[in-house]
A and B are shown apart, each in its own frame.
Chain A
Amino acid sequence: MTGSRERILGRVRAALADVPRDERPDDVAVPRDYASAHTGDPIPTLVDRLEDYKAIVHRVATGELAEAIAETARRRSLARIVVPPDLPTEWTAATSASVVRDDGLAVDQLDAMDGVVTGCAVAVAETGTIVLDTGAAQGRRAISLIPDVHLCVVRADQVVNGVPEAVAQLDPHQPLTWISGPSATSDIELDRVEGVHGPRILEVLLTGE
């Protein structure tokens, strides 16, 4: 194994014989004059783009979040909802569904859940993307993956305009999941249909405007 490591690195160096010996990686200039964002109006843009990719968006006044979650759960007939251990208890205070805190549930237990409620780390307006970084109110990756309905709470102050702003804010050492709408596929005649293995329904509750 060490042999192949040295062999490959040796081949790479031999292949790059034309590169001047004193050239450093940073000597290869990268033009960075692309835009940091293409919108200055993040909230309406986010709503528009989320809906374009078949997510459902609710704009919720801060004090009405619990009721909005309860209403969505009722409408979707969610009997059992899994939540991350640190989800604010007031978010699920109004729902009549049974709320299960994830304390390391087995996959089969997760598979028995009808829905999941999480927060997020960042949302990207112009691509309609929500990023989860397993931080506050998000839990581990599996809980937002296995249940079929994902209710995601996004605070207005978590919304950035474009991808470069999101990349700059996020910590790569956390496992990240970038979510743009419900799961989808274009594998049949390149015709996009929503709903494959990941949650088939994504409802976004946008608060704090």
Chain B
Amino acid sequence: MRIALFVTCVNDTVFPDTGRAVVRLLERLGHEVVFPEAQTCCGQMHYNTGYRREAQRLAVSFVKTFSDADAVLVPSGSCAAMIRDNYPRLGETGSPLDREVAELAPRVYDLAELLVDALGVVDVGAYFPHTVTYHPTCHGLRVLGLGERPYTLLRAVRGLELRELDGATECCGFGGTFAMKNAEVSSAMGWDKARSVATTGAEVLCAVDNSCLMHIGGVLNRQRSGVRVMHLAEILASTEEEPARI
């Protein structure tokens, strides 16, 4: 399959390893990845902070960039949720944006959805000999409804031991601008989440959203916990020949 990668602005700028892992993984599975260079940002931060017009402009640009794609991979649960759940609220009913979003949104996937639903693969041939715990992230859990998909993918990874995370469904406290506007509450939530992660004894905390991982990882680092955070793509891209470093 020819898959258009919308890497997202945060991954592009701060977490390029995630994008590279996605490319490696999908090419290993025999698919073609394209990266339309006109892409920028889904507009989530603008939308969630109340800047609807700016978000609308970015939605228009996204739709224009990806309208021809067979499948769009968004390796960030919250950005995928922004496109699928909030873009339909941005265009007036019957407007060109409204129609184009309705047409494109069903072909927009998070990584776990792309693999399990569109490509029909659970065992991606990965090797990752480490203990891992998974944080489902709010958008992955409640908006996209990823359910068991990420766990199924992780359980199929050779060498990986999955540890259950206490209070997994609770928000980590990132919340975009919430992390700045209500910094104390945000970090109180982050510290509680980091404590649950540390209690599992896992070496790696995995999620489908680097924004949440940046937040929890920032706390884990500050606590010198030694727990490393990794996007699902990086674990699935890891093989015996080219193991991911942790």
In the complex, A touching B, CB below 8 Å? no
